[in-house]
Structure formats: C-alpha cells, structure tokens
C-alpha cells in the first residue's frame, strides 16, 4: 500500500535534516552502509544526496550550498551550511509547540483528543527540561460550562438549558439534544436539536446561564442536519429582513464587521448600507447603539420602532410638573435632567430614527 504523499514528504524532510550531521560524523562512509543505518534503499539515499546538493543558506550561490565529495561508493560532506547537529527543539520552540497542542486539546469539537494528549505527553517527556514547569492553557470563558457541554455531547445526554437570545433580548428555558461542539470565531458553541424550536440551533456557550443534564439520552430526529459553518455562524438569506441605513464616516466600520448586500456613496461623507438582520428587534437596538451618526432609510417599521424607543428615553428626562399648591416654585433641581444628557437623547430620537 502506498503511503500518503504528505507522510512520505515529512519522512524525507526529517531524514534530510539529520543526514548531514550523520555523514559529518562518518566521513568516507559507504553509501550501502549509510542506507542500511538510515533504513532506506541505496537509490533513495542517492536521491537524497542529490537534493542536499542544491540546499543551503539564503543567497543560494555555489558557495552557500551543501557540498560533498564522492570517492567511488563512498561519500564525504565537505561543507555543511551550518547543519552540523541533529535537529533539536530550542526552549522557545518546545514551549510554543506545547502551548499549541494544549490549546488544540481544549478546543471544543476537536476529534481524536486522545491522540493529541498522547503526542503532548511524548513531547513534554522528551523536552521536559527545555519547557520547565507544566504549561496550563485554558480557552477564554467559563471552562466548567464548556466541559459540561462537551461531556453531554460525548455521553449522548439531553440537556435542559437557560439561554439568553441576544437577537430578541430574552431568556428562555429549552431542552436540547446535543449534536457537536464547535469553535467559531474564537467562541465555543454547542449545536443541538432544540425541542422548543423543533429545529437545529447553535447555542453560544457564554450565553447559557444554566445547564442541567437530564436522565435521558439525546434523541436527535433524522431530519436534524448540522449547519455548514464554512462562511461563519450568521448566514444572510433572502427570507431575513433587509434594512438600509444612512451612516457617517465614523460608522463605516459596520461594513467590515457585518455582511452587507449593498454599500453606496451618498451625500457628502454619508453612505447607504443595506444588510440582512435576524429580526427587527435586534436591528432596533443596533441602530440605537450607533447613535446620531446613523439614520434608518428602510423599512419604515424599523424607523418607527427606533423613534418610539428614543422618545421613551426622552420621557425619562422630562422635567416633572410643579406640585399643586407649591406657589409655582421651581421644581427640585435634583429632579431636573442634565442638559447634555437631554440633548444626546433628543439627537438619538431625531436622527437615529429618521426615515427617508
């Protein structure tokens, strides 16, 4: 059976890196003897030597390349180009490799975690003196929550979760049947069949407020198909609401952060930006967060929602009417709004909610 080309290339690279110091320690060695020591055929060794002949230091002139002399079937290295010792990891290289493997082992959804742990144990055992103290790596977020989700996926158990949905700004209780753990954009997710929605859903681990493992196995229906996340978690589609915003220069960052369907130059520094959103409730909070630098061009329903929310905010700054019988005295100054705060709220109500 032919080995994969990637494995053959890796084997050859390792052999080439150690071939020069091996030959330096054995000047004039017969090619047949060297091939036997290295576990390759004489033909393969000669091909390796031909490749080494065109390897060397940057500059790649004749004086920078590895050189050797042949005497019949014997070979001697005459210039090693600095490769005079077998390949060894430096302390920094060993530490970087250990940290990378630790991070990989902690990443949700990674298959063959046992193989990663075995490789890590071998490296730490071989390079223990170089690395020094054991290295602990943890992904950001609640490690216990991620571990509980991972255990449920691996154990095939159903879960009851309390989940915060940012798009609707609400918290709900759901029973889910986990499918797999994922790491997308630096965040951990559990993909599961949601019995409440009767569909496959993605749940961000850091938005799960409570987890209870149920005394029943996960029952995933045949129609439950995992999402294709090659393009990210959010997948704009024609059935989602389309909003159009008029933004200024300081708000142009949204065109890089969110997938936009259309970006057009408007009057002056303004741009017209159209993008799909999960629902208008999320869009309302999004526009209000942008402040007076953004106005709603469409749809009218969104503009009305933004206007109503901004008006309610303005009402919170309203000056209370004088108390009856107080002789018309001015209201308590402690109850009067700050002029700057009232102006800021008025800007949001007028500019953040305008519709064309």
Q: Low-confidence residues of the chain, pLDDT below 50?
A: 1-7, 329-346, 348-356
Which residue pairs from 179-183 have beta carbons closer than 8 angstroms and sit at least 24 positions apart in sequence? 179/153, 179/220, 179/224, 179/226, 180/109, 180/153, 180/226, 181/108, 181/109, 181/146, 181/149, 181/150, 181/153, 182/108, 182/109, 182/229, 183/107, 183/108, 183/109, 183/139
Number of residues assigned to the chain: 356
pLDDT at 231: 64
Instruction: Report d(CA 321, CA 330) in Å as an integer.
Output: 9
Closest CA to 353 of 316, 302, 285: 302
What is the distance of C-alpha 175 from the center of its chain? 27
| Three-state DSSP class for residue 316 | coil
Q: Which residue has the tokens 């938005």?
A: 207
pLDDT at 245: 96
**CA 209 → CA 184, 187, 248, distances in Å?**
20, 16, 37
Six-digit token pair at 226? Answer: 């995992």
Instruction: Report d(CA 12, CA 3) in Å as an integer.
Output: 12
């Amino acid at each position: 059976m032919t080995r994969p080309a990637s494995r053959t290339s890796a084997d050859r690279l390792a052999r080439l890196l150690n071939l020069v110091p091996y030959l330096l320690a054995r000047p004039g060695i017969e090619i047949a003897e060297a091939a036997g020591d290295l576990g390759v055929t004489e033909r393969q060794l000669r091909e390796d030597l031909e490749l080494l002949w065109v390897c060397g230091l940057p500059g790649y002139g004749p004086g920078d390349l590895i050189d050797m002399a042949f005497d019949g079937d014997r070979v001697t290295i005459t210039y090693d180009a600095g490769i005079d010792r077998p390949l060894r990891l430096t302390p920094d290289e060993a530490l970087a490799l250990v940290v990378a493997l630790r991070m990989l082992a902690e990443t949700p959804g990674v298959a063959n975690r046992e193989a990663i742990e075995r490789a890590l144990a071998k490296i730490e055992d071989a390079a223990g003196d170089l690395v020094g103290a054991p290295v602990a790596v943890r992904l950001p977020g609640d490690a216990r929550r991620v571990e509980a989700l991972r255990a449920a996926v691996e154990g095939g158990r159903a879960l009851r979760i309390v989940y915060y949905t940012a798009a609707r700004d609400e918290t709900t209780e759901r029973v889910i049947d986990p499918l797999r753990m994922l790491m997308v954009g630096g965040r951990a997710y559990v993909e599961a069949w949601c019995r409440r929605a009767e569909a496959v859903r993605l749940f961000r681990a850091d938005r799960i407020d409570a987890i209870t493992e149920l005394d029943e196995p996960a029952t995933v229906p045949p129609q439950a198909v995992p999402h294709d996340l090659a393009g990210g978690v959010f997948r704009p589609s024609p059935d989602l609401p389309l909003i159009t915003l008029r933004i200024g220069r300081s708000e142009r960052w949204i065109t890089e952060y969110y997938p936009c369907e259309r970006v057009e130059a408007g009057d002056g520094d303004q741009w017209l930006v159209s993008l799909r959103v999960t629902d208008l409730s999320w869009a309302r909070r999004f526009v209000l967060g942008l402040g007076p630098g953004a106005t709603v061009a469409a749809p009218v329903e969104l503009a009305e929602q933004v206007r109503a929310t901004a008006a309610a905010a303005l009402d919170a700054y309203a000056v209370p009417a004088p108390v009856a019988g107080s002789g018309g005295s001015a209201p308590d100054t402690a109850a009067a709004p700050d002029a700057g705060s009232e102006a800021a709220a008025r800007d949001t109500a007028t500019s953040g909610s305008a519709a064309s």
